[in-house]
Amino acid sequence: MVSVNTNGKSDALIQVRGLDKTYRRGGEDIDVLQGLNLDVDKGDFVAFMGPSGSGKTTLLNLLGGLDVPSRGTVSVAGDEITHMSSGKLTDWRARHVGFVFQMFNLVPVLTAYQNIELPLLLTRLSRSQRREHVETALAIVGLPDRASHYPRQLSGGQEQRVAIARAIVSDPTFLLCDEPTGDLDRKSADEVMALIQELVSKHNKTVLMVTHDPLVAARAHVVLHLEKGVLVEASKSRESAAAGGGA
């Protein structure tokens, strides 16, 4: 269950408490996030919407341990990440977070297989175990026959599916998707969103997604609006999304 008003302790998978992020630009402090509270349970699918500059990507970066808050805490599965050292945070990201980006961000000189294998290179898995994991991820995203293709040989939708396979191959605790359909046509966007929904419904993945597209956001269990650094609205229930809100 997603909650934006919780202030005390909870059993939620992701707990955000009093999160502030302030940037200093040109001698002026800019408050991007202000006192954010958020609880996200395992298996939740949350969409963050809001105008440009509202702090959506900043929030995602903080949740993913890519950035550090000015104040407040982020805890994931009991680990408080806000005070971790850079090295520990990197380890933590490798184990707990799968990233999906708008521009896919695949390494162009590596095949789909090699791109998906990247997070597994940081583990102690043997080559055959890695192969098994990569093939499973490729099968989940529906691209088992594209393993040896380079990104330039794939369509945008296929590239994003490879990126999703890379994000899930190490079985992370949750996925962070930053505008995953922002660079896709409607048909490809629908396919990618169907895949993300499947990850939530079939594989019980927790997904936090930033999007500008209301149709894409409508696929989530909960849509949260960020305006001027504050979570101001929650809409749509898990039940209605589970009922199959299409784009």
Residues at the interface with another protein (CB under 8 A)? 61, 64, 66-67, 86-87, 90-91, 93-95, 99, 101, 103, 105, 107-110, 114, 118-119, 121-122, 127, 166
Distance in Å, CB of 84 to another protein, minimum:
13
Question: Please, which residue, 16 or 218, has the CB nearer to another protein?
Answer: 16
Question: Please, which residue, 72 or 98, has the CB nearer to another protein?
Answer: 98
Long-range Cβ contacts of 54-61 (<8 Å, 24+ apart): 54/226, 54/227, 54/228, 54/229, 55/21, 55/226, 55/228, 55/229, 56/210, 56/226, 57/178, 57/210, 58/21, 58/32, 58/33, 59/19, 59/33, 59/210, 59/226, 60/176, 60/178, 60/208, 60/210
- 206-210 sheet: strands from edge to edge: 97-101, 174-178, 206-210, 45-49, 222-227, 230-235
Question: Please, which residue, 66 or 215, has the CB nearer to another protein?
Answer: 66
Distance in Å, CB of 138 to another protein, minimum:
17
Question: Please, which residue, 45 or 99, has the CB nearer to another protein?
Answer: 99
Q: How far apart are CA 22 and CA 16, in angstroms?
A: 16
Question: Please, which residue, 117 or 190, has the CB nearer to another protein?
Answer: 117
Q: How far apart are CA 58 and CA 228, in angstroms?
A: 12
Question: Please, which residue, 50 or 119, has the CB nearer to another protein?
Answer: 119
Distance in Å, CB of 107 to another protein, minimum:
5
Distance in Å, CB of 110 to another protein, minimum:
5
As a residue count, the chain comes to 247
Distance in Å, CB of 57 to another protein, minimum:
8
- By DSSP bridging, strand 45-49 and strand 222-227 are parallel
DSSP H or E stretch at residue 58: helix 56-63
Distance in Å, CB of 9 to another protein, minimum:
29
